[in-house]
A = this chain, B = another copy of it.
Amino acid sequence: MIRFDSDYTEGMHPAILQALLETNDEQTIGYGEDPHCEHARQLIRQAVQCETADVHFLVGGTQANTTVIASILKSYQGVLCAGTGHINCHETGAVEATGHKVLPLASADGTITAAQVDAYVSAHYADGSHEHIVQPGMVYISFPTENGTLYTRAQLMDLYAVCQKRGLPLFVDGARLGYGLAAAGNDISLADFARFSDVFYIGGTKVGALMGEAVVIVNEKLKPDFRYNIKQRGGMLAKGRFLGIQFEQLFQNDLYQTISRHAIDLAALLKDALTAKGYTFRYEPQTNQLFVNMPDAKLPQLQQDFAFSIWGRADDTHTTVRFCTSWATKEDNVKALIASL
């Protein structure tokens, strides 16, 4: 069985494993205040070109999303996001469990627009009884989206401009940030996220780390006391250095970028093969996730040798399935998959 069902099927990048070996006997203080975390923070500040950013390491995506969102919103505020957003669909109501409503916006491909946000906020305050309605308090997007699609730099800047105008912090879920940055058509840089958002995170779990997300807080107002939030939400790792050691490796020698490109290259290889064979895609294949409309009859055979996700019905005779590549995907495995299609 060869797995393409997710981008978290293997362990960690060998460089990280090596670093764990080398540092295992060190004695350090806990809770993210050790020298490895400090060094990793500095490397990330350089990478995002923002020396004043606060950087915190959290264990996973749901935890990062919940902690950031709950730290920003007032009790009567909600978070705007695409209806397909991870926080709206796949986090078991973690945001609601902190007392806040997720305010979904219609989205065909996983992205939302500046115009949507602006219109939503206008409509809210135009309502004479807006106190009876959850107040929009921030905006959440993911890059890439759940559907593997991307914002352009212009779209991101527009969103950020509307957010600034409306006083809404913009938060970017970057669980797969590396794959978005490395995508062929992408024109957004890592540093752009520090310019055009208030807080974002750089996903490690799906991009080379065993686990870990680096939350980067740019907006001064969102910085104070963030560690209280981390602790309260169960995200403060006693041996926090484990997260620091991983990000130290990922942000040295361009490792994060290099391994992201690897995933993108193999996704492109698969995409081109699928296209050549006449397959269609549910969403534009831009990053490491391909949503392929597969004849139902073809599935049983494929499933014998390959693991992939079932995304939903495409039409009466086709199922949309998802193939993921990652930093760890082997080219031979992609070729074996292509041969089976």
A267 beta carbon closer than 8 Å to chain B: no
- Interface SS of chain A: loop
Number of copies: 4
The answer to whether the Cβ of A295 comes within 8 Å of any Cβ in the partner chain is: no
- Interface residues contributed by chain A, number (CB under 8 Å): 79
Contact with B along A122-158 (1 / 0, CB 8 A): 0000001101111100000000000000000000000
Q: Does A49 contact B (CB under 8 A)?
A: no
0/1 string, A71-106, CB within 8 A of B gives 1: 100111010000000000111111011111110000
**Chain B residues whose C-beta falls within 8 Å of the C-beta of A26 in the assembled complex:** 10-11
A210 to B210, CA, bound (A): 12
Interface 1/0 per residue, A47-59 and B, CB below 8 Å: 0000000000001
With the chains together, A210 CA to B71 CA distance in Å? 28
Q: Given the complex, which residues of B lie within 8 Å of A238, measured CB to CB? A: 6, 8, 60-61, 205-206, 211
Chain A residues in the interface with B (C-beta under 8 A):
1-3, 5-6, 8-12, 14, 17, 20-21, 23-31, 59-63, 66-67, 70-71, 74-76, 78, 89-94, 96-102, 128-129, 131-135, 205-206, 210-211, 225, 227-239, 241-242, 307, 310, 328
